[in-house]
């Protein structure tokens, strides 16, 4: 399932190994506590599904959908909540699970949103950290990979809703 317009950045095996490693770290940190993992849709759904299967602790899952891109490949900087969580996060140990953090604007908005609801704890897990694109400093508690400031697709991430199903993560060379 190789696409000539995509240069592989992270293989399926590299991703799998990192998810196992992060899962062990999270399970160790939350031992004896119940965790609420909040997947940020749509990109983080595959990562979240793989991640929670690695947790040998009590974990609930909920979903939140936000938008700052639309169909563009560049963030507009305006964050809009499309779907909020269904579970009351008050008093819960919340882990926000992202596929990628680049500018930090969306995550900063989400953290402010969650803090106002008084969770017992609030942490962030991301598979990819595009730190060169950061315009707002945000805390990242669990990080998979630092990546270059390139547009990536695969493993849940898309370009105009395409490429989410790729088992690897690649750099999109030519926008089609």
Instruction: Tell me the catalytic residues.
Output: 102
Give the span between the Cα atoms of 38 and 81, in whole angstroms.
14
Give the span between the Cα atoms of 94 and 33, in whole angstroms.
11
**What strand order describes the sheet that includes 169-172?**
6-10, 169-172, 152-153
Cα 105 → chain centroid? 14
DSSP category for residue 133? G
Report whether 44 contacts 66 (CB < 8 A): no
Count of beta carbons in the 10 Å neighbourhood of residue 102: 24
């Amino acid at each position: 399932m190789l696409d000539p317009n995509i240069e592989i950045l992270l293989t399926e095996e590299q991703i799998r190994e990192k998810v196992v490693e992060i899962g062990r770290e999270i399970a160790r940190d939350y031992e004896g506590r119940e965790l609420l993992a909040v997947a940020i849709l749509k990109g983080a759904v595959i990562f979240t599904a793989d991640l929670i299967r690695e947790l040998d602790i009590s974990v609930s899952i909920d979903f939140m959908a936000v938008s700052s891109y639309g169909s563009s490949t560049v963030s507009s900087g305006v964050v809009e909540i499309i779907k909020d969580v269904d579970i009351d996060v008050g008093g819960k140990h919340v882990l926000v699970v992202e596929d990628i953090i680049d500018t930090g604007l969306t995550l900063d908005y989400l953290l402010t949103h969650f803090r106002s609801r008084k969770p017992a704890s609030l942490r962030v897990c991301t598979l990819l950290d595009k730190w060169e694109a950061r315009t707002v400093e945000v805390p990242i508690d669990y990080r998979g990979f630092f990546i270059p400031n390139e547009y990536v697709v695969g493993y849940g991430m898309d370009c105009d809703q395409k490429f989410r199903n790729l088992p690897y993560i690649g750099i999109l060379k030519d926008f089609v």
